Amino acid sequence: MIYLNGDFMPIEEARIPVLDRGFIFGDGVYEVIPVYSRKPFRLAEHLLRLQNSLDGIRLLNPHSDKEWSSLVEQIVAGNESDDQYLYLHVTRGVARRDHAFPKDVVPTVFIMSNPLLAPPRELLATGVAAITTSDNRWLRCDIKAISLLPNVLLRQMAIDAGAVEAVLLREGFMTEGAASNIFVVKNEILLAPPKNNLMLPGITYDIVLELAATNRIPHEVRSVSEYEVRTAQELLLTSSTKEIMPITRLDSKPVGDGKPGSMFALLYQLYQDYKMTVMRGSAAKF
């Protein structure tokens, strides 16, 4: 069951007009929210990021957080899996084709759900391969825009090379992955690039840094150079659907000893424990 502009329906029945600005210009933003045991995970943070993305494209939020929470709740209830991930899409609506913002147009709102499967154990045991490539996206990567063509092309470059992710480099520094944030481990210290306009402020990125702080894991939030990426002990990727995964090959060379490292093992366990605590409700914000 999906939600589209006020109605709930099977996805096969959902229709949007071809003049939707999402289709014509990629003029919209989105969110991806994981749901565990039917409870949305970090919903408040995702809704705040949605607000920031909408502000970034100068589109009024069509719903209050309370309304979004209710829509999310109904979609979760209307779909089969206990663990799901939800896409929330908002576009600038349907209007005659013109770059200029249309007046008095109602935004298109779309929510869909997919079953959420944890990354396979085998993959966590071996780690995944990544490539490096130059970050050729725009300068507002902090906006979660639906216009994902650069990310699509970058990620496909990784797939074509037999890898799962592209680690992006801009002017000698790492920004993020094509669909994830990237952490580097160097001299037993966890390194994370600072949030700015060149990367998406990941919700999982925040959790990892919170876990590092509360568990006294040495960490630094600062620019991470290409050299540090290439000589890393460990590389980790994070995202709401992939959680934390070890990158064990970069550009066909082993990262560190080529096996998932101790920082990954520790953060992975802490993340699972944190998830359980939140889902049991003791530390829940929702």
Q: Could you list the active site residues?
A: 144
The minimum distance between CB 9 and ligand PMP, in angstroms, equals 26
By CB under 6 A, residue 239 contacts ligand PMP: yes
Backbone angles phi, psi at 175, to 5 degrees: -100, -65
Region binding ligand PMP by CB under 6 A among candidate stretches 13-21, 90-98, 157-165, 199-207: 199-207
By CB under 6 A, residue 179 contacts ligand PMP: yes
DSSP state string for the chain:
-EEETTEEE-GGG----TTBHHHHH--EEEEEEEEETTEETTHHHHHHHHHHHHHHTT---SS-HHHHHHHHHHHHHTSS-SSEEEEEEEE--B-SS-SSPPSS-PPEEEEEEEE--PPPHHHHHH-EEEEEEE--S-S-TTS-BS--HHHHHHHHHHHHTT-SEEEEEETTEEEEESSSEEEEEETTEEEEPPPSTTS---HHHHHHHHHHHHTT--EEES--BHHHHHT-SEEEEEETTTEEEEEEEETTEESTTSS--HHHHHHHHHHHHHHHHHHHTTT---
The minimum distance between CB 95 and ligand PMP, in angstroms, equals 27
Nearer to ligand PMP, 22 or 202 (CB): 202
Which of 240, 245, 249, 250 lies at the binding interface for ligand PMP (CB under 6 A)? Answer: 240
Backbone angles phi, psi at 42, to 5 degrees: 55, 45
By CB under 6 A, residue 175 contacts ligand PMP: no
Region binding ligand PMP by CB under 6 A among candidate stretches 10-18, 85-93, 119-127, 237-245: 237-245
The minimum distance between CB 67 and ligand PMP, in angstroms, equals 21
CA angle 142, 54, 65 (to 5 degrees): 115
User: What residues from 200 to 219 belong to the interface with ligand PMP (CB under 6 A)?
Assistant: 200, 202-205
Region binding ligand PMP by CB under 6 A among candidate stretches 62-70, 127-135, 217-225, 234-242: 234-242
The minimum distance between CB 181 and ligand PMP, in angstroms, equals 5
Region binding ligand PMP by CB under 6 A among candidate stretches 7-15, 120-128, 178-186, 275-283: 178-186
The minimum distance between CB 255 and ligand PMP, in angstroms, equals 19
The whole-angstrom separation of Cα 177 and Cα 32 is: 16
Which of 14, 24, 32, 105 lies at the binding interface for ligand PMP (CB under 6 A)? Answer: 32
User: What residues from 65 to 124 belong to the interface with ligand PMP (CB under 6 A)?
Assistant: none
By CB under 6 A, residue 235 contacts ligand PMP: no
Which of 20, 135, 165, 176 lies at the binding interface for ligand PMP (CB under 6 A)? Answer: 176
Name the site residues for ligand PMP (rule: CB under 6 A). 32, 151, 176, 179-181, 200, 202-205, 238-240
